[in-house]
Amino acid sequence: MNIYYNTTAGGKNVILEFVDDLPKDEMVDGYRVLEELESNRLDGLVTRQIAGKLW
């Protein structure tokens, strides 16, 4: 799967910058998710449904 990252007019990759600013353990998880998406291995991701309203 191709992942298209959002970039600013100046070329800053806001997605990777966000992941880089996460705490170390969450940053590792973030990059793992991106790798799983890029290689179409979505079954390797552990997810759960969010209950209730998000807003």
pLDDT values of the chain reduced to their tens digit, one per residue, 55 residues: 888 888 899 999 999 999 999 999 999 999 988 988 888 887 777 777 777 776 7
How far apart (Å, rounded) are the C-alpha atoms in residues 40 and 34? 10
How far apart (Å, rounded) are the C-alpha atoms in residues 1 and 33? 12
Look at residues 2, 7, 9 and name the one whose alpha carbon lies nearest to residue 18: 7
- What pLDDT score does 17 carry? 94
Whole-model pTM: value is 0.68
Query: CB-based contacts of 44: which residues, under 8 Å, 6+ apart?
Result: 36
Give me the residue spans of the domains in the chain: 1-55
- What pLDDT score does 31 carry? 93
| DSSP helix/strand/coil, 7 | strand
- What pLDDT score does 13 carry? 93
DSSP E strands, 4-53: none
- What pLDDT score does 43 carry? 76
